[in-house]
Chain A
Amino acid sequence: MKISWPHMGSLEFVMSSVFEELGLDYVLPPPSSQRTLELGTRYGPEFACFPLKTTLGNFIEAIEAGADTLIMVAGKGPCRFGFYAETQRRILEDAGYRFRMVMLEFEPNKLPATIRKLKELKQGRPWRSVAWAIKFALSKAYLIDRLEQQALHQRCLDRERGATTKALERCYRMVWEADSYASLRKVEQEAFGLLQNVPREERETVKVGIVGEFYLVLEPFFNLGVEEQLGNLGAYVERSVYLTDWLRPSGNNPVAGQHDREVEEAARPYLTHFVGGEGLRSVGATVLYHRNGYDGVVHVMPFTCMPETIAKSILPRVSRDLGIPVLSLVIDEMTGKAGVATRLEAFVDLARFRRRARDAGIDYSLQPAF
């Protein structure tokens, strides 16, 4: 049994570390590329979500690389994500691929079935070691998230462009190779040290928050490197979602430090109900960023994404009320990197101008969202 799963940010390190730990066979899909996207759009339904297409592309490339068992989580909405696995299974079957799709559902009434599926996947390994491997992998995920956060914060100060990114990649490796809590603790110190030792120079920075749809915020290839681009433009970046929030959905979001309830509270004047996906968080986190003195918010969303479309309809109002510029980037297979780069550049300029005006005590007029 060769198991595979789609990419999502640093998920590959976490998942593969579980499989390594248990000594199970797995296939990592080739890194997401233009071809992934092309495959996904060719087979994917016309206006399905962008992540559905890209993960479909990952699946196809994984099957080509020899995988025969595909893992995907499923749920019960209200967003489309809960139906990805089922839809992708049908599409891949129609396209003539041979594979097995294991749909993991975690609602109470589906748990017995899920446990049965996990039992098959673990291929005779004892439950105890499975539990340990998962726990250890979650710790790795948490560490990776904090390293990513550190990178987001310091990238704007790089003396040499791309140095932080390169250091971060080494950190990923190091974390992945750790095989016990003792070595993980050592890696933690080394990795933070590595990031902190990236040569810096003093520069004027602006603070920009990223909000948006989970997958797209996490997946640098498909969001066209928004984080890195912003960092290179001299922005101290924070984002509203991290992988840990998804792996351990407890609601207290340890990395970004915004509890779900706090976010809900902040969003209340504008959006009063959960709308699936990250819609509510996008609105709430924007308000929180404003409260914490950020100079701007970048909102990334896939084309046709339902919760984020709601957020996008409401964010201009938030922006007008609070006077924080918000840039909504709608991303699909046609979006070009150059266009995004220009818009980000203009946006960071605007944010910087407003920060200077505010620091100098000039009353700056409210800017409409763009």
Chain B
Amino acid sequence: MRVGIPGGLLYFRYGKLWTSFLQALGAEVVESGETTRSILSSGVSKAENESCLPVKVFYGHVLALRDKVDAIFVPRLVSVKKGTHTCPKMLGLPDLARAAVEDKVPVIAPTINFQEGMWANYRAVYSLGRLFTRDPLRIVRAGLEAWSEHRLYLERLTLGLDHRSALKGETEDLLCEGRELRIGVIGHHYNVYDTFTTMSLLDRLSSMGVDVVTADMVPEELKRRELRRLPKDIYWSYEQEVAGAILACTRYRLVDGIIFMISFPCGPDSIIRVLCEQENRRMGGVPMLSLVIDEHTGEGGFLTRIEAFVDMLRRRKGIASEVREAVAV
């Protein structure tokens, strides 16, 4: 059976897990690959105008796979941590995918919900496995194997690789190499690592001679400590990471500046942004740029804002930018 995995939204976190699990079960996995202009535009024309950019991109990926596969794999992640939820859009994602392909292809949608305890999740994964094989041992083995691959992938992210090289298993090209200026680029995985919608922000910063710190690279313990300080718990799991990372970066001065990547019109981010900006201000923190991207964001304006921000940080830190030096000479 040929199973398609759309390369949008949570693929930027669990892609490795999904592909290795399905492959170990003997499925032929077809990925839609990286976002391209045609994927984006087909997604934008198909999705509701009110959807957020990543969901539109996701639609594009689903449509790109529609005619190539026997089934599309869109798991429903209800909760990935006790006491939290994912975003409502992710709760409804398989149904959105079904509406997008208009029932031409079946959608495989196991439900993962950590509110319900491990047994329910085990059952969900097991019955997913049963679609491909009748051998229970093989399912368990595939699960364990995929899980360790996933751990390795996440570990690579924490070491400072970006999504693409972590997927491939390359270990060069670290985002953070000890250059003078360090910027936190923080946001959801799909907002930070998608090279097309972010217009290669990470590469660009790196070629400007700037070190990048992503939310994954901020130590878990610091994030947790920051979250405990908040008067009201954040109940979105991915938002916890974002807010925790921003607050930790601010309090411990892990970076010289923060770029908060938001896609328009993201529900949870619009709320978290208020919290982060206020806490940042109260701590007398680091300069923060909230970058809102959507499908109309032009490359020119985007670059100008990034450059201006980097220049400002350089000036604050007393490093003359190369351009400035050239002018002075």
Contact = CB atoms under 8 A, between A and B. Distances in A.
Q: Which of B51, B91, B264, B278 has the most CB of A within 10 A?
A: B91
Contacts of B314: none
B129 interface: no
Given A303-B50, A309-B48, A330-B50, A45 B273 contact: yes
A66 interface: no
A296 B292 CA distance: 37
A241 B319 CA distance: 60
Contacts of B88: 78-79, 275-277, 279, 306-307, 310
B274 A312 contact: no
Contacts of A279: 88, 92
Interface residues of A, number: 44
Q: Which of A77, A85, A272 has the most CB of B within 10 A?
A: A77
Interface string A187-210: 000000000000000000000000
A317 interface: yes
Contacts of B233: 76
Contacts of A80: 267-268, 270-271
Nearest to A328: B48
A275 B268 CA distance: 14
Contacts, number: 118
Contact of B271 (A48, A76, A274, A312): A48
Contact of B51 (A46, A91, A309): A309
A144 interface: no
A182 B55 CA distance: 55
A46 to B, nearest CB: 7
Interface in A252-305: 270-277, 279, 301, 303-305
Contact of B95 (A48, A76, A273): A273
Contacts of B48: 309, 312-313
Given A273-B78, A310-B96, A317-B99, A49 B275 contact: no
A45 B232 contact: no
Contact of B85 (A45, A78, A91, A270): A78
A304 B267 contact: yes
B89 A309 contact: yes
Contact of B274 (A77, A90, A103): A90
A314 interface: yes
Contacts of B247: none
B95 A271 contact: yes
Contacts of A270: 95, 99
A85 B91 CA distance: 24
B114 interface: no
A87 interface: yes
B198 to A, nearest CB: 19
Contacts of A306: 87-89, 267
B76 A273 contact: yes
A309 B47 CA distance: 10
Interface string A39-81: 0000001111100000000000000000000000010111110
B270 A48 contact: yes
Contacts of A275: 88-89, 91-92
Given A45-B274, A74-B232, A272-B95, A317 B85 contact: no
A368 to B, nearest CB: 13
Interface in B84-110: 85-89, 91-92, 94-96, 99, 102
A363 interface: no
Contacts of A305: 50, 267
A86 B275 contact: yes
B235 interface: yes
A82 B85 CA distance: 12
Nearest to B275: A90
Nearest to A270: B95
Contact of A46 (B92, B231, B270): B270
A19 interface: no
B265 interface: yes
A264 B44 CA distance: 29
Q: Which of B76, B89, B233, B274 has the most CB of A within 10 A?
A: B274
Contacts of B302: none
A330 B292 CA distance: 21
Contacts of B234: 83
Interface of B: 47-48, 50-51, 76, 78, 83, 85-89, 91-92, 94-96, 99, 102, 111, 231-236, 264-268, 270-271, 273-275, 278, 292
Smallest CB-CB A-B distances: 3 pairs:
A78-B85, A47-B265, A310-B92
Interface of A: 45-49, 74, 76-80, 82-83, 85-87, 90-91, 93-94, 103, 270-277, 279, 301, 303-307, 309-310, 312-314, 316-317, 330
27 contacts: A47-B266, A48-B271, A76-B85, A77-B235, A78-B236, A79-B88, A80-B270, A83-B234, A270-B95, A271-B92, A273-B92, A274-B91, A275-B88, A276-B88, A279-B88, A306-B87, A306-B88, A306-B267, A307-B92, A310-B92, A312-B50, A313-B48, A314-B95, A316-B99, A317-B99, A317-B102, A330-B50
